[in-house]
Chains A and B, each alone.
Chain A
Amino acid sequence: MDKFTARQLLNIESCTRCGQCTDMCCAYNASNDLSVSPAKKMELLRKKVRSGTLFGKLFGRRGFSDKDMDILVRAAYECTLCARCEVDCPVNIDLQKLWISLRSSLTDDSRGPEALTMLKERLDKSHNISFDTNEGRAEWISQVADIGENKYVKEKAQVIYFVGCVSSFSPRVFKIPRSIVQIFKTAKVDFGLLGDEEWCCGFPLLSSGFKQDFVEFAKHNIEKVNSTGAKYLVTACPSCFHMWKHIYHELPLGDIKANFEVLHTVQYIYKLAQEYRFRLKPINQKVTYHDPCDLGRNSGIYDEPRKLIRMIPGVIFIELEKNKIDTTCCGGGGNVEAVDKQLSENIAQIKAREIIKTGADIVVTSCQQCVRTILQALKKENSKIKTMDISELVLASISGAQAQLLKGGVLSV
């Protein structure tokens, strides 16, 4: 129980068992399996906590069985950590953090899935979630024109662009960092990359239950950005953003303190647009926006992406049925893909159908992981709706390249 805070143990006792969390859970709604629901997790967690107490040992009808443990392990890791369950909780329990602590306690008991243990080993070795070495972190930039010899890996810069593992190593989403670099170049931003000194933000470690290792990654990253003298740290990955903005400063980091402001790219690009650092040309399309969980519900960034989309002339903006705080996960969160690919795909299918219902031509989001999962899910639904990151849409508008955009993107992969 040392992985839980007293507040979390109080919350376990305070759960009213109303079941509102289950109604909203994307894993439950995609699987119709109560054993992966938040209510079941809470019930088993309560049982686990009680079975460890003296009262539980003396009077417990049944102890916490191996079968219970198996169900709890499955439920803990088949959770996207989207935090939708928190929204309707009448006791306002911080469930996402509770599920992370649960994973942490399971990891301590060596109960975590093998895939996540392997992920941890990979991170320890190469400091990124891919199978590649960290030297290849900035390879994606090679195809951007006029990048200079240093490829933007600078010792000093006003803005540090923290690319994140998925955008750095997954060719399917290389368009996103390339678009961002193009926008920054157009806006004449003094920006730099950390290159192979950029380590994973640590979210995969935290969400897999490796809290201590996570702290080491945070320390390294903060020190590296501090050494550049940057005024801003900008990232396009909502999970990286959430870690940098809201979690790092809670860690026991000693004297290490971030000396810069953390912004998501959507915030920074919106700021540039407000300063007229580039001109937006018309895109005559119907556009809808998917709020990534870590950027929207967990970080409160709802307005900037909507304002930025509406700044583009010709765009007709349509809201998804479940938007802002009520947004549902795309299926790409919580490392579920690594544990149960089918469940992840089923969650994405629900999202895809919601998008199709809007009648939009383009679905925009602010997350490389959401782009990836939604793109695949829409393909499965035989939909012609284009999926893209907001930076791609902005770049298309800057370039006046609506036709190219609809063909498959302004930039080639």
Chain B
Amino acid sequence: MSTILPILPEVMLLGLGILVLLIDPFIKKDTDRRNFLGLFTTSGLLLTLVVSILLARPAGPVLVFGGMLRFDWLGFLFKMFFIFAGAVTALFFMDTEKLNQRAEGFLLLLAASLGMCLMASSADLIMLYLAIETTSIPLYVLAGFLTGDRKSTEAGFKYMLFGALTSTVLLYGFSLIFGFTGKTNLYELSSHFTHFDLVATSITFLVLTGLAFKVSLFPFHFWAPDVYEGAPTPVAGFLSTASKAAGFTVILRLLTVVFPVISLDWSLILAVLATLTMTIGNLIAITQKSVKRMLAYSSIAHAGYAMIGVVAFSQLGMASVVFYLIAYALTNLLAFGIIGIVGRATGSDDFSAYNGLSRRNSNLALGALVAFLSLAGMPPFAGFVAKVFVFLAAVNSGWTWLAVVGVLNSIVGLYYYLNVLKSVYLFRMENQEEEKNPLAVRRPVAVALVVLVVGILLVGILFGPWFGLASRAGLALF
């Protein structure tokens, strides 16, 4: 029995997915279906979360299932986070037309979460590739889920084309690794890449290209804005947070386990990539007219901030990346949640749709305040400490200039995030009749928002214990 514990979350996710499909035909009325499927998925995910935390905590890092998976804190922490993000997203699904009607939507969400969980703990190239595809394919479908909507279809198709292309590049890299070493287990490979040569360079290049796409690093970020804009908002939120975090776990593991020596040689290149990712993401975000697109570019920029911690390449650096990803993901889930509500109520994602929001629903406006200030890196929200730790890691490893680039970028970020708040608090609707147009939030979504706000505050204020967890996850890499 104990052997199944390392994959207990995955097993439960699979079981839950099957149950959702089985139950679906028995619900006749659309309204029942809308409420039931979402609540069922959410409570199932929460149950998985609780059971896993109670029963399936890792002790020390061990390779399990013939070396396919590694049962360690990095994997565990992220698995728990993906399940949490899945639960929140399921609540957001309940408020989205079409997504809430069909069990397939929830099933795909669960399948993607399952894939992410495997991504976070894979210790073998084959398993890793399978996990990445298990994550990606449901997400392609989800992005294009609104079949009647041309933008959504376009998003799904675009995402699939780009994704398939980079997957092949990644797979090519993996095949080279296998070809030159004859091994597929990450932890056996570590001794093979000890110096910088043509083979190692091309392998690193191919693998990084594939993964850079997943986390939307420059220059593989082009897909993100279009896909986020077209995809149903909760799906975009899930893509920009959980999927990105999953990509980062793979980057962290590969760089520290397979290419520890080469990574040091590559750190200047990674630093330049981080700089470009942050700067380009932020600069383009300024010019956006749609909040959703702006958030897409901002999420590119955030991948750049997280890369700063990767460049630092120390235990502190890894811990700060983990902390950053979680803080950022919580915040971005909240931001996309709010966009979803406003988008549904006003039918638009433009800045003007946010005019007068604080008069239409003052609590929702406060939620927006928390989300955007946390993204900007203001205390007492999670974004502040996350940024400081990443910069501190950079300074500690001698990358002071990179930290300076990071803080300068966060100034740019502050500017465009404040622009959203300007619409929310300052501008008014055209008819100035906000009081007559209150913006209602459905209960499940409200619950999700409150949970996220509380989470952001908890991580941002009581950051000690959270960072302890992140350090533990970071330590598991070395």
- Whether A and B are associated in the same complex: the answer reads no
- Please list the residues of chain B having a beta carbon within 8 angstroms of any beta carbon in chain A: none
- Please list the residues of chain A having a beta carbon within 8 angstroms of any beta carbon in chain B: none
